[in-house]
Amino acid sequence: MALPGAAGFTGPYLAPGNSFFDFALAAAPEALPAHQAYHSTHPGTHPGTLPDAAPQATTIVALTFRDGLVMAGDRRATMGLAIASREMEKVYPADRMSAIGVAGSAGLALQLVRLFQLELSHYEKIEGAPLSLEGKANRLATLLRANLGLALKGLAAVPLLGGYDNSTARIFSYDVTGGHYEEHDFHAIGSGAVFAKGSLKKLWRANLPQRTAVKVAITALTDAADDDAGTGGVDAARAIWPVVAVVTQDGYQRIDEAKLAGLMEAKR
Amino acid sequence: MTIPAYVPPEQLIKDRADFARRGVARGRPAVVVSMADGILLATHNPSRALVKISEIYDRIAFAGVGKYNEFEALRVAGIRYADLRGYAYDRSDVTARGLAGAYAQTVAAAFTAEPKPLEVEVAVAEVGATQADDAVFLVSYDGSVNDEHPWAVLGGPAGPARQALAQAWRPGLSLPDAARLALDVLGQDVPDGEVEAARLVRSAIPGRTFQRLTEPLRRYAA
């Protein structure tokens, strides 16, 4: 890593720009996950064999409601047919006003989250103001594109971005090439997405109150867990709940498990 | 062929130091003060867009005086240094000491090797778990570093205000007390709209502790 030496800050440290990723690519490319893809001489493993060798993270759902958006992710990570983790977290704050959820190769996915969080705070510190939501969505696409080499070798990670900007909540989905698409009302990604989406399609209404929106998110994950082996539902025996977060004008807030339990209890 | 006139190294260094010192003294002063619930940073700055005080990392803030383009480059380099270190290692591995060292190297290299020394003075402040852990590093135009006490005055003329701060500072200052001391250094006649101020909030550790003061500093001092 090119940390400043006897001459102090030189080269990339003094170059113009406000992106952490661009800076790190110049100053310390080995620290970035994309580096291995660019420089690897490995012939490339056949797609379909690698996912068994690394944990996979699964279903994320997001939906808008009256005051913002809810994003929720189950806690399971799988390696082939084995369960690698039953308490992995896949939904994180990207910054104060946005949430990011990830599906796919777990190590890369979490790296992507970390890099994206850093990219946003880095920009904010240098420029003195946060990026617009559209700007955040574009930056995330750039980070993903850098991962394309690994994605083609079967190590793909795909995010779902939700944010609150100018009094509206918006959801963006991505593909491994960095293509990003604005989704309306609700969306789901990961192995259980088909089932979760079916559920969301029936339950989503315009202007839902937050309580109902959270219930809808958990119900969609439960439906996904019912039919997809890669998705974990609510684990009542161990009291493991999905990670559920809301983003409203008050910012990102994770809903604690006791509250979720109370909410789902009240349904019956 | 003309032979360049011999200039003794002492004279060369003195000329450069005088040049840089004059440049820094022309700048409007900044002040950093450790207090009970954090660290206060304030400066006289008529501009709202061009900042002299900035967040560097979770617990670290920056203040710079002198030539804007020069300390702005240092500010941005500091943010990059901190973010890269925190990314490659861990957020807790980013320290003000390391950053002050890198600043000192940069400024010292320019002082001896560049056509013109940097006309800047910068401070790096780090808020600790307790006030005893607070650190304020002052890096001067020649690359010398001072961390003798948890407060610093940058730029401006060396006057009685500076002495007053040295005598009045004590551990456990409240925000109003610290704000009053800071305003004494900046000059009581500075208009409210021209004071840029921020603080590192001790209770916000381990998150991002930097917070810009949106109200005029004088209101906090009351």
What are the chain A neighbours of B81 within 8 Å (beta carbons)? 3-4, 9, 13
Candidates A74, A141, A70, A153; CA nearest to A112 is A141
Q: Cβ of A131 under 8 Å from any chain B Cβ? A: no
Partners of B142 on chain A (C-beta within 8 Å) are none
Using the Cβ of A28 and the Cβ atoms of chain B, whether some distance falls under 8 Å is answered with yes
Does B160 or A141 have the greater pLDDT score? A141
pLDDT of residue A45: 46
pLDDT of A47 above 50 = no
pLDDT at A10 over 70: yes
In whole angstroms, give the CA distance from residue B42 to residue B29: 9
Q: What pLDDT is recorded for position B4? A: 82
Taking residues B206-216, report their average pLDDT: 93
Backbone angles phi, psi at A73, to 5 degrees: -140, 140
Q: Domain residue spans in chain B?
A: 27-221
C-alpha span between A155 and A153 (Å, rounded):
6
- Quote the tokens at residue A170: 């918006």
Q: Supply the pLDDT for residue A237.
A: 87
Q: Which of B54, B73, B88 sits opposite A28 (nearest CB)?
A: B88
Confidence of residue A53 (pLDDT cuts 50, 70, 90): low
Position A39 pLDDT exceeds 80: no
Determine the residue among A1, A3, A9 to mutate to test chain B binding: the one whose Cβ has the most chain B Cβ atoms within 10 Å. Answer: A9
What share of chain A in percent tops pLDDT 90? 62
- Compute the nearest-CA separation of A123 from chain B (Å): 10
- Do the Cβ atoms of A223 and A233 come closer than 8 Å? no
Q: Tell me: the pLDDT tens digits for A106-122? A: 888 999 999 999 999 99
pLDDT band at B24 (very low <50, low <70, confident <90, very high): confident
- Cβ-proximal residues to B33 (8 Å cutoff; 6+ apart), any chain: B39, B40, B41, B150, B151, B165, B169, B173, B178, B181, B182
Q: Which residues of B touch A (CB under 8 A)?
A: 51, 54-56, 73-74, 76-77, 79-81, 83-88, 102-110, 208
Q: What is the pLDDT of residues B147-156, one digit of tens each?
A: 888 999 998 7
Backbone φ and ψ for A97, nearest 5 degrees, come out as -110, 15
- Which one of B74, B84, B105 has the shortest CB-CB distance to A24? B84
| pLDDT on residue A48 | 46
Task: Give the three-class secondary structure for A244.
Answer: strand
Least confident segment among A98-102, A133-137, A262-266, B175-179: A262-266
The pLDDT assigned to A58 comes to: 84
Amino acid identity of residue A48, one-letter, is G
DSSP string, A180-228: EEEESSEEEESTTHHHHHHHHHHH--TT--HHHHHHHHHHHHHHHHHH-
pLDDT: is A38 or B76 the higher one?
Answer: B76
Contacts of B83 in chain A (CB under 8 A): 20, 118, 121-122
Average pLDDT for A136-162 = 88
Amino acid at A178: G
State yes or no: pLDDT of B161 exceeds 90.
Answer: no
The tens digit of pLDDT for each residue in A150-194 reads: 777 777 889 999 999 989 999 999 998 889 999 999 999 999 999
Domain topology for B27-221:
Glutamine Phosphoribosylpyrophosphate, subunit 1, domain 1 (3.60.20)
- Tell me, rounded to whole angstroms, the distance of Cα A160 from its chain centroid: 5
Question: According to the model, what pLDDT value does residue A43 have?
Answer: 47
Contacts of B107 in chain A (CB under 8 A): 8
Domain boundaries, chain A: 19-26+54-267
Q: Are A130 and A106 in contact (CB under 8 A)?
A: no
Confidence of residue B27 (pLDDT cuts 50, 70, 90): confident
State the SS3 of chain B.
CCCCCCCCHHHHHHHHHHHHHHHHHHCCCEEEEEECCEEEEEEECCCCCCCCEEEEECCEEEEEEECHHHHHHHHHHHHHHHHHHHHHCCHHHCCHHHHHHHHHHHHHHHHHHCCCCCCEEEEEEECCCCHHHCEEEEECCCCCEECCCCEEEECCCCCHHHHHHHHHCCCCCCHHHHHHHHHHHHCCCCCHHHEEEEEEEHHHCCCCCEEECCCCHHHHHC
A10 part of the active site: no
Q: Tell me if B105 and A118 make a contact (CB, 8 A cut-off).
A: no
pTM (2 d.p.): 0.91
Say whether residue A129 is in contact with chain B using an 8 A CB cutoff. no
Distance CA A164, CA A46 (A): 40
Q: pLDDT tens, A202-237?
A: 999 999 999 999 999 999 999 999 999 889 989 888
How many contacts does A have with B, using Cβ atoms within 8 A? 74
Q: How confident is the model at residue A63 (pLDDT cuts 50, 70, 90)?
A: very high
User: To the nearest whole number, what is the mean pLDDT of chain A?
Assistant: 88
Cα dihedral A110, A115, A120, A122 in deg (nearest 10)? 140
Q: What residues are paired with A199 via a beta bridge? A: none
Which tens digit of pLDDT belongs to each residue from A257-267? 999 988 888 75
- DSSP secondary structure, A54-78, as one string: S-EE--EEEEEETTEEEEEE---EE
Catalytic residue among A10, A41, A58, A78: A58
Q: Give the CATH architecture of domain A19-26+54-267.
A: 4-Layer Sandwich (3.60)
